[in-house]
């Protein structure tokens, strides 16, 4: 039976220096869904992702994990979680193929598993024709796809992406989201942090954040109907202005 990872966050608080990065955040990230963390720079999105990955520890509050509906420890699910940071640590002089080989060794993948996974990922990203191109010579969208491939080599059950479409052209953004939809069909939990309000409607669930506070959450259409807005940009400004009073 394949893993179906879910995450529940309760009253999460985290201070980074003088900044209250998270201030009492509640969230439920249901298994096999594409979740969007929506908000501007400084909203707390990156801090929340790093807490979920165990890269930071909360000051107060809890993060609990479920696997196929049963509570499990973080240590048991961590090997099946992948994180793609906003600033990716790829090597400019290494080609696409050399990066994949590097992460094969890092993940200690059996050769046949690696060969099959590599072929699949190169096909769905359409980077198979650029296998020998160095990362430093890739376009912004291709560079993001390479980072995603490296994260996916180990076949994670949960994928956390920090602003993966930031700074790429509209066509590359659309292609990247098409990739995420294909991954969702594999029952992967996907959490995407983004400052692009228009991307909120692409998600199964949205979690709108600002200044360390969760402003609202739910299915995109339900949230807009409940808040009586036409766009998420309108919703964000209304909610953030209320929160700032």
By percentage, how much of the chain surpasses pLDDT 70? Answer: 96
Give residue 1's pLDDT band: very low, low, confident or very high (50, 70, 90).
very low
Domain for residue 215, yes or no?
Answer: yes
pLDDT at residue 134, as a whole number: 97
Number of structural domains in the chain: 1
What does the block give as tokens for 24?
């009492």
Average pLDDT over residues 139-157: 91
Q: Answer yes or no: is 58 within a domain.
A: yes
Q: What is the pLDDT of residue 181?
A: 92
pLDDT at 235 over 80: yes
User: Of the candidates 169, 224, 213, which has an alpha carbon nearest to the alpha carbon of residue 47?
Assistant: 213
Q: Is position 143 within any domain?
A: no
Domain annotation covers residue 146: no
pTM as predicted: 0.91
Residues 47-56, mean pLDDT to the nearest whole number: 97
Residue 105 within any structural domain of the chain:
no
Which domain covers residue 219, as residue numbers? 5-87+157-243
Residue 239 has pLDDT above 80, yes or no: no
| pLDDT band at residue 172 under the 50/70/90 scheme | confident
Structural domain includes residue 81: yes
What is the average per-residue pLDDT within 190-199? 94
For 63-108, write each residue's pLDDT tens digit: 999 998 899 999 999 999 999 998 877 999 999 999 999 999 999 9
- Asked if the structure places residue 64 within a domain, the reply is yes
CATH number of the domain at 47, please: 3.40.50.300
Q: For the segment 89-98, what is each residue's pLDDT rounded down to a tens digit?
A: 799 999 999 9
The mean per-residue pLDDT over the stretch 159-186 comes to: 90
Q: Which of 44-48, 69-73, 229-233 has the lowest mean pLDDT?
A: 229-233
75 within some domain: yes
- Mean pLDDT of all residues belonging to the chain: 92
């Amino acid at each position: 039976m394949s893993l179906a990872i879910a995450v529940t966050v309760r009253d999460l608080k985290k201070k980074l220096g003088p900044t209250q990065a998270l201030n009492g955040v509640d969230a439920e990230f249901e298994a096999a869904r594409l979740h969007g963390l929506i908000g501007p720079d400084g909203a707390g999105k990156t801090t929340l992702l790093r807490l979920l990955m165990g890269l930071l520890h909360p000051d107060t509050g809890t993060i609990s994990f479920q696997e196929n509906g049963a509570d499990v420890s973080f240590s048991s699910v961590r090997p099946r979680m992948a994180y793609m940071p906003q600033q990716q640590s790829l090597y400019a002089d290494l080609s696409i193929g050399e990066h994949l080989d590097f992460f094969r060794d890092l993940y200690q993948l059996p050769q046949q598993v690696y060969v099959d996974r590599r072929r699949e990922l190169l096909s769905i990203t359409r980077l198979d024709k650029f296998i020998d191109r160095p990362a430093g010579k890739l376009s912004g969208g291709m560079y993001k796809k390479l980072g995603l491939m490296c994260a996916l080599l180990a076949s994670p059950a949960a994928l956390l992406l920090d602003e993966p479409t930031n700074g790429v052209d509209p066509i590359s953004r659309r292609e990247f989201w098409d990739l995420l939809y294909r991954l969702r069909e594999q029952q992967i939990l996907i959490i995407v942090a983004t400052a692009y309000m228009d991307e909120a409607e692409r998600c199964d669930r949205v979690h709108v954040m600002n200044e360390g506070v969760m402003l609202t959450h739910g299915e995109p259409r339900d949230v807009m109907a409940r808040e009586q807005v036409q766009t998420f940009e309108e919703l964000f400004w209304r909610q953030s202005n209320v929160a700032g009073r």
